[in-house]
Amino acid sequence: MTIFAIMPLVLEDEWSLSGVEVGVMGGIIFLGFFVGTILGSLGDVYGRKKMFRIAVFLITFGGILSAFMPEIWSYLICRLVCGLGIGIFEIIGSAYATEVTPAGARGWYFVLLNFFYFLGAFFVLGMGFWLIPDLDPTNWRYAVGICVVPSLISFILSLFLLDESPRYLISIKDYPGAVAVANKIATTNK
């Protein structure tokens, strides 16, 4: 989300945006984020794993398309999609992490999770200013495209490495599945 804080400034002249359009461009991702946090509760219905994949897919898909948009309105739709994914991810990621992290390490895990989130935000912002020096709009598409890489990696890894939450499996009465995942978690967390 960090790179998109500077995008209205970068695209204001290129797309001849009005003050209202600049404001909407800066805020649309937060509207998506807000709605996404509400949709995150669907993890209780469809499972953490499925909603995690949906979230990172929305972030990746919306981000890739954003880099190719020729004008503000299609760009805004893509940013809204990204915001939905980010909002869902915040809820699902926290719930999943809470459910699979040992109680004694949970606090440190969340400290590290937030530390790396903000470290990544600073990295992306620095990369944005490197790719868009003086907010020159010629390289903005590269900056947006590069921001997609972490969510693309997360999506691919989730296809192979992410197990369903034992808590969700218990809620749908898949007790053998919950025991198998819990045993895997216990073995991994030794």
CA atoms within 13 A on the CB side of 9: 11
Neighbours of 70 (CB within 10 A): 8
Task: List the domains of the chain with CATH numbers.
Answer: 3-188 (1.20.1250.20)
Dist CA 81 CA 6 (whole Å): 18
Dist CA 12 CA 133 (whole Å): 15
- Has residue 68 got a pLDDT over 80? yes
Contacts of 17 (CB under 8 A, 6+ apart): 8, 11, 25, 72
pLDDT in tens, 109-162: 888 888 887 888 788 777 777 777 766 677 788 888 888 888 899 899 999 999
**Is residue 2 helix, strand or coil?**
coil
